[in-house]
Amino acid sequence: MMRNTATHSGVRMEVPFFRPKISEEEIAEVVDSLRSGWLTTGPKVRQFEQEFAKAIRTARCVAANSCTAALHLALEALGLRPGQGVLVPTMTFAATAEVVQYLGGIPILVDCDPCTTNMSIQDAARKLDQLKSAKFNKLVSQRVEVVGIVPVHVGGLMMDINAIKQLASEHGLWIVEDAAHAFPAAWRSSPDAPWQRCGGDTATVSCFSFYANKTITTGEGGMAATHDEEVANHMRMMSLHGLSHDAWGRYSGTGTWDYKIMAAGFKYNLTDIAAGLGIHQLARAEQMRHNRERIATRYLEMLGDLEAIELPPTNRNRIHAWHLFPIKLRLERLRISRDDFVSKLRQSGVGFSVHWRPLHLHPYYQETFGWRPDNFPVATAVWERLVSLPIFPDMNDLELEYVVDTVRSLCAEHAR
Ligand SMILES: Cc1ncc(COP(=O)(O)O)c(C=O)c1O
């Protein structure tokens, strides 16, 4: 495809990995919260929860001050106990596995699919078998009962929900979906099947992130979504010190002054200041997803002929949130490593990230659980090829073309 390189005429630009866009309406809403006196959890949090539940078609949502907090609340509400195991992808961010350990659980890391980098269901089944046969690694010297699975939809491309549900039902596992990247996203099992939104009924609990660079943001924030009323009530109680009712009940005219401590809870409640931002971001979510998709489509068109890179997969049975645009370098066609490639991107002014160094290659996981690179051959090999390119809703054509031209020049200059 012909590309218009004349626009930036070889002039160096700075393109950030991500640039948030906060509208005037959103700023006004935050100011309104400040003026209303509801600095902490109040009516805007309730409104945000209800509108988010409606958007993903679930029954109940509990807001939290991060996705990490939402994941912790979910695992606690489902009764994870010390010594129990939870299947977690090795290809994920720290949060997905650390929350298991907050409760004394053991993350059983699982390898990834080489194309999507999502958790491999085959390897999850294999790890379950290996645990039973006591030939895994030093973990099995203590008997591990695996009780749950925490799939991650990397970059916003959803996993096959039927496959996860089948594995979970065969092994009696609950599913807590780490949907930090997957709003708004959807999947269907085939072109004839109805679309199901991520969080609609895709897991026992689905947890979303509203961190600054996520598809919608509240600065910091998260949401746990579920159809289970008991789980939702428990998560709500635990999100505010295990109190019998939250500050809204206590301080509004409808609540009473008295409260009872029902459990040793956490301090995970979202503020009205953040929720005010979230309500407006939510209203723009589809538009922002559309803009991200437009950028992804242009990248796919403009980089499609490059032999030195593999582009992220698409799937007609998925509505992709396009939180990330991860390319994979074909290192056999290049004379430089991924690390050299990204440092040259940086020198050229192009922001990037890598999602992720897999958990089993971090010192903590190696030292604590004795995982070895060959326990996860796919993730071990693929992570050295990963580069996430900039993608954000108001990325302009000039920025996009600059990124494309920089990637193309690097591939040409360092071709093997
Ligand atoms: C896959 C995944 N899970 C969880 C989180 C944690 O989200 P938060 O920062 O809202 O706690 C992140 C953050 O980037 C993430 O990428």
Q: CATH assignment of 285-413?
A: 3.90.1150.10
Contacts 24+ apart (CB under 8 A), 356-359: 356/91, 356/92, 356/93, 356/383, 356/386, 357/383, 358/90, 358/91, 358/92, 358/112, 358/383, 359/88, 359/90, 359/91, 359/92, 359/94, 359/97, 359/107, 359/109
Q: Which atom of ligand 1 is nearest to the CA of 211?
A: 10
The DSSP 8-state label assigned to residue 57 in this structure reads T
The DSSP 8-state label assigned to residue 395 in this structure reads -
Q: How confident is the model at residue 249 (pLDDT cuts 50, 70, 90)?
A: low
pLDDT tens track for 322-379: 999 999 999 999 999 999 999 999 999 999 999 999 999 999 999 998 889 999 999 9
Kindly report, as residue ranges, where domains of CATH 3.40.640.10 are found in the chain: 24-283
- Phi/psi-derived region of residue 159, left when phi > 0, alpha when psi is between -120 and 50, beta in every other case: beta
CB atoms within 10 A of CB 134: 11
Measured CA to CA, the distance from residue 218 to residue 272 in angstroms comes to 10
Q: Check if 324 has its Cβ closer than 6 Å to any atom of ligand 1.
A: no
Nearest-CA residue for atom 16 of ligand 1: 93
Q: Which atom of ligand 1 is nearest to the CA of 152?
A: 1
Q: Check if 119 has its Cβ closer than 6 Å to any atom of ligand 1.
A: no
Contact indicator for 203, 78 with CB cutoff of 8 Å: no
Kindly report, as residue ranges, where domains of CATH 3.90.1150.10 are found in the chain: 285-413
Q: Check if 356 has its Cβ closer than 6 Å to any atom of ligand 1.
A: no
Q: How far is the CA of 45 from the centre of ligand 1 (A)?
A: 20
Q: Report residue 233 CA to chain centroid gap.
A: 24
Q: How far is the CA of 68 from the centre of ligand 1 (A)?
A: 6
Residues 6+ apart with CB under 8 A from 313: 115, 116, 157
Q: Check if 222 has its Cβ closer than 6 Å to any atom of ligand 1.
A: yes
Measured CA to CA, the distance from residue 207 to residue 297 in angstroms comes to 27
Contact indicator for 174, 204 with CB cutoff of 8 Å: yes
Q: How far is the CA of 180 from the centre of ligand 1 (A)?
A: 5
pLDDT tens track for 19-58: 988 999 999 988 988 898 888 888 999 999 999 999 999 9
Instruction: Report if pTM > 0.85.
Output: yes
Calculate ∠ Cα 165-169-173, nearest 5°: 90
Nearest-CA residue for atom 14 of ligand 1: 93
Q: CATH assignment of 24-283?
A: 3.40.640.10
Ligand 1 pocket test, pick from 66, 67, 99 with the greatest ligand atom count within 8 Å of Cβ, gives 67
CA distances, 280 to each of 47, 271, 277, 293 (Å): 11, 15, 6, 20
Q: How confident is the model at residue 2 (pLDDT cuts 50, 70, 90)?
A: very low
pLDDT tens track for 108-158: 999 999 999 999 999 999 999 888 876 555 554 567 899 999 999 999 999
Predicted local confidence at residue 251, as pLDDT: 53
Residues 6+ apart with CB under 8 A from 362: none
The DSSP 8-state label assigned to residue 243 in this structure reads B
